[in-house]
Structure 1
Amino acid sequence: MGNCFSARIKAESPFHSVSASGTNSRYTGSGNDLSGSSSRVSAASVPPTPRSEGEILQSSSLKSFTFNDLRTATRNFRPDSVLGEGGFGSVFKGWIDEHAFTATRPGTGMVIAVKRLNQDGYQGHREWLAEVNYLGLLYHPNLVRLIGYCLEEEHRLLVYEFMPRGSLENHLFRRGSYFQPLSWNLRMKVALGAAKGLAFLHSEEAKVIYRDFKTSNVLLDSNYNAKLSDFGLAKDGPTGDKSHVSTRVMGTYGYAAPEYLATGHLTAKSDVYSFGVVLLEMLSGRRAVDKNRPSGEHNLVEWARPYLNNKRKIFRILDTRLEGQYSLNGAQKPQRWLFNVSRTTASIGHPWKKWWRR
């Protein structure tokens, strides 16, 4: 899973809605169509009804693991098995049989990532339940696969597919022999995959606002295919004639849309703003917020905005490690889109279609 955690503004986790029958069907979308139009289940026809913990667990097709299963799979949660850690808890590498889902010897069977919840807060349980709720119903090639969970006494764990390349954050900002700078083509591939994942969440089939899009939550498989992870803060989008969802402000500083921070009005465009910030990070090699930068350069969006409105200045924000890897046209493609997003979410319009055309 890589390091999937960073400081959040606040914490709150709403729950999704399902049909009265509580079927195990998953929403699903095409990996090639940004609209996610090939989904099998339409959320538009499903009345929004709050679900209890029992209903969420019973309606998902996820595997229910025992705590002993996962303790064995991770070699008793050994420190050298840690993939990442943060406010939620720690993520451990483990191994299970791909058919029986039972623990196997290290190096055999299927590699998994096991997220273990810290046992010192109710809010953590709410986020744990939100992950089960959303990833138990949603399926798309650009969403990380949740295999199962453990709910046993005080133990709360989640079992995911293992993402061998770790997080986008590591590849952009960590230095070392393992984390080589991503090429221009790989950065564009990752950006497109992440955009497809968000477009699916925003589609009529899912109608979900991710609410925590950032580089640490974009994970990469062995072929650098991007998958969105960590749905603890996700929320259902507006229904009917409503234009937004009113909620407590939450997310991660530097990525949250200004209008959302000011009003608490949440829309899919809030995610699009966050995507724009991440795209800027990918182009520039700079973090969204970096207090170690000179005065005036702490906030990436504010620093980059003057350069985004001038085609001749776009190269001033590009990562110097990318020199010679892109064409003039290729570098300018996302420029106008990013400029609009950096100003206000109200100017975004139909973001995915516009970004796709560019």
Structure 2
Amino acid sequence: MNRTPDDSTLARTGAGHTRRWPKALLHGWIGGTATMLFLLVVIGALPLGDGTAFLVLYLALTVSPTVVSYRLLPRTRPHPGIRPKREAPKATAEAAAEAERAITRYGELLHAHPYSPGEAANADELADYRTALDAYEQAKQVAPGQVPTVLAGGRAALDRLSAGNRSASDIAWSRGRGTMKLALPRPAPGVPAVLVFETDVKQPFSVHTRSGRGGRRQILLDGGMGPTSAHVGVPAQDTDVLFVEVTASGPWRIALRRIGEARQLTDGGWLRGHGTETVLRRGGSRVVEFEHRGDTDFTVRRLNRSFRPAGVLAEGRGGARLNIPVPGRCVLRIDTIGDWKLRDPAA
């Protein structure tokens, strides 16, 4: 509620005082006249000639106190309740770089999505397809702080497109916030699956399971850092659900997908990624080129056919470019919170 400032407020802030020339001239005239009278009466008559010298001396004695009075009078101050608008703070370089990485990951997801509009596409599918495309372009134009919201709308559209092509047995997203325990339905019992965990919050997260003998705790994701979209292989189990515990800050979503939805490194192909991911390799040369960017730790592991760890192929910290010997057909898991690139050099 607005309130008119009282006299005490004006006295404190100086509002109401005005620095004006008329008041300064008045002070100068009084000061000059008093000085002139002092010279005439106390010191005695001055030899002023025909009066010209008197006028010049009088003006000189008046101008000086006028200028001093003008400089000393307080300026008019604005009302204490009225303040100029401040410009919004500019996005930091770190926020801009983070937004750029999010846009790049979304672009790769958009490029790899299997949907292609055809003659049989209905209006809803075409609308979702346009929404997904527009989200990519819009994210490049908005402020970094708005990028997660824009891309979330695009991912939701891609999810709706994927849902139209899934069978009834496919798994939907499970959403949560903070630390939670939940049961994820398996796409098919007895075969490996791909666990997908996504968050837009820049905070560490982990995903554990207590499946196995005696309820032993197994690590699926640990030491991750959002925002990210992690895809990791889950070993096969003869159960219909997978019990997991998510430890995170803020909102997230998680799902189990069919193993066929994991990305594949083909002969002569390449993959770009960010964060932890399990990659299938279907033949090719006996070496892959791995490139890591950033100042974080990284580990490249080989998994066996049951999607359990079978050995560390490479590990390190910071930027690196390595040639890693691998079998022709294998499953690779990359653990990092940085950006990476995997390439099959086969011609």
Q: TM-score, normalised by structure 2?
A: 0.27
> Taking CA–CA contacts closer than 8 Å with sequence separation of 6 or more, which of the two structures ends up with the larger relative contact order?
1
TM-score for the superposition, normalised by structure 1: 0.26
Give the structure with the higher percent strand.
2
Q: Compare CA radii of gyration and give the structure with the larger one.
A: 2
